[in-house]
Chain A
Amino acid sequence: MGNEGVKSSRRKFLKSAATASGAILGYSLLKSSQYLVYAAEPEDPNLPWYGIVIDVEKCIGCGACAKACKNENDVPVEPFFFRTWVEQYTVKNDGSVEIQSPNGGIDGFTQTVPDEEIFKSFFVPKMCNHCAKSPCVQVCPVGATYDSPEGIVLVDEKYCIGCRYCVQACPYGCRFIHPVKKVASKCTLCYHRIKKGLAPACMETCPTGARMYGNLRDKNSEIVKFLKEHTTQVLRPNLNTGAKLYYNALSSEVR
């Protein structure tokens, strides 16, 4: 008799335990795609959601941006570490493309191809795309790199373990391991400056106003107006990184 009671209560317990774990499993399966697919959402409507525009047509390749970035962010001066740099593309008449970026463009450029062989030539400044679906944030094993509530991809230098997985995951080559701090390092859109109301160093020093950043959520901002009036393009759209760096007048040779 007593045994029966224990048995039935045990059965009851097992039943409810099974239902509960089944429900949890089902729920987590449904939810799991959210854990696998990484995407930052603009959550707080009071905060800006930053995007960047680079107008390739305006860039004169003076390298002021790359230089200012190194000064502002204490990036080692050696030519292997850049948060932003400028590339010079030269498409020749025979269709071949020559790309160069000596010292990231900091010392300016010289055109090595004679004028008569040039089909077209242009500069492309590069920097972090502050992707909304950043591959680098997706792969960070410990949460040491993240999208700030304003949509800026930042690194937590006190928490980074230096596994370099994020460097591998960035399709734009915008990350590196800081040789002194021994942690991942990248463009922060000069987070410390924009928080004080100053423009990022690269934009402060650009002589032609080729770079611009602003609040994508504010429909009256300059950047939204620019995006409305121009045909812009992001880099490597096939990778679906949700890049928020929009290039105006980008040529198809650029990757």
Chain B
Amino acid sequence: MKFYVPPQLKRLAIAFAVFIVLFLVLRKFLVPDSFGQYGHYRGDSLADNALPEIHYAGQQACLDCHQDIEDLKAKDVHARIHCETCHGPGQKHVLSGEASDILKPDSREFCGNCHGKNAAKKPGTIVQVQLSEHNTDKKCIECHNPHQPWEMKE
């Protein structure tokens, strides 16, 4: 007995085979080389993610040139606060040494973000003052040295 294959099926088999081969060939070219190196993703993407420039240099980087300030800071209550928490991203300044590349915040609100009174701040974490009451006529840094807050300027 001869196994009968309807002619339609033969045609379709060819059409599907062409389609699948085409798909596989295309796939071969389109899938990135490093795909699947570590998992279901482009392995090179790990390096891509490590690529961006840093903006914050880290406290250690400041000390090369500003050890004096760190010495002040280390003696007082702001010791744990890193320079860039207050001065903003410093990488550009570290590379250039230009004063214009770094912030020097001086507003009352700036200190107030941390020290302003708010019931949500746990006692013991930070000493709070009522901004609207505490020596309102001057900026904080006119009395307190930001690097050494208890070293009063006047």
Contact = CB atoms under 8 A, between A and B. Distances in A.
Contact of B45 (A73, A111, A118, A159): A159
Contacts of B38: 149
Nearest to B119: A121
A57 interface: yes
A98 B1 CA distance: 82
Contact of A205 (B1, B82, B122): B82
A159 B42 contact: yes
The secondary-structure label for the interface of chain B is loop
B55 A192 contact: no
Contact of B113 (A62, A156, A193, A206): A62
A71 B42 contact: no
A122 B112 CA distance: 17
Contacts of A122: 120, 122
Interface in A33-78: 57-64, 68, 71-74
Interface size class of B (residues with CB under 8 A): 35 or more
A158 B56 contact: no
Contacts of A228: none
A241 B3 CA distance: 55
B32 A148 contact: no
Nearest to B120: A121
A58 B125 contact: yes
Interface of B: 1, 3, 32, 35, 38-42, 45-46, 48-56, 58-59, 80-82, 84-85, 88-89, 109, 112-114, 116-122, 125-126
Given A71-B88, A89-B120, 16 more contacts: A61-B120, A62-B113, A68-B85, A72-B89, A121-B120, A146-B40, A148-B49, A149-B38, A154-B45, A154-B49, A192-B50, A192-B51, A192-B52, A193-B54, A204-B84, A208-B126
